[in-house]
Amino acid sequence: MQYEIHVTDKDIARGKRQDIEACPVALVIRRTLHRPCLVSGLSVHMGRKGNGQQFKTTWWVARRIYRFDDTGVMKPFQFNLTALSEV
C-alpha cells in the first residue's frame, strides 16, 4: 500500500528536532494514517512502540529529516510512503 504525504509549513513549525515521534514527517504521517508512528530516516514504524506496520521512505526524504534534525530548517515537500510488511 502507498500513501501520498504532504509536509506543509504548518507541520514544519509544529515539528520538533531530533524527535522520532514529533518531527514534521511523523506529524503528517500520524495525521494521514490516523495512527501514532516512529520515524527514523529511511523507515517508519506504526504504533506507540513501533511494533506495527512498517513503511519505507527514500534517501531523499531521510536527508531532509536529518537536515531538519541538525539545523531546524525544512521546506514543504511531498513524497510517497510505501508499506513494507504487516508485523
Domain region containing 34: 2-85
Instruction: Report CA-CA distances (Å) from 77 to 9, 22, 65.
Output: 9, 17, 11
- Does the predicted model carry a pTM greater than 0.85? yes
Count of domains observed in the chain:
1
Q: How confident is the model at residue 85 (pLDDT cuts 50, 70, 90)?
A: low
Q: Which residue has the higher pLDDT, 42 or 14?
A: 14
Q: Read off the pLDDT of residues 5-27 as tens digits, 9 standing for 90 and up.
A: 999 999 999 999 999 999 999 99
* H or E element, residue 3: strand 2-7
* H or E element, residue 79: strand 77-85
Most confident of 4-13, 33-42, 54-63: 4-13
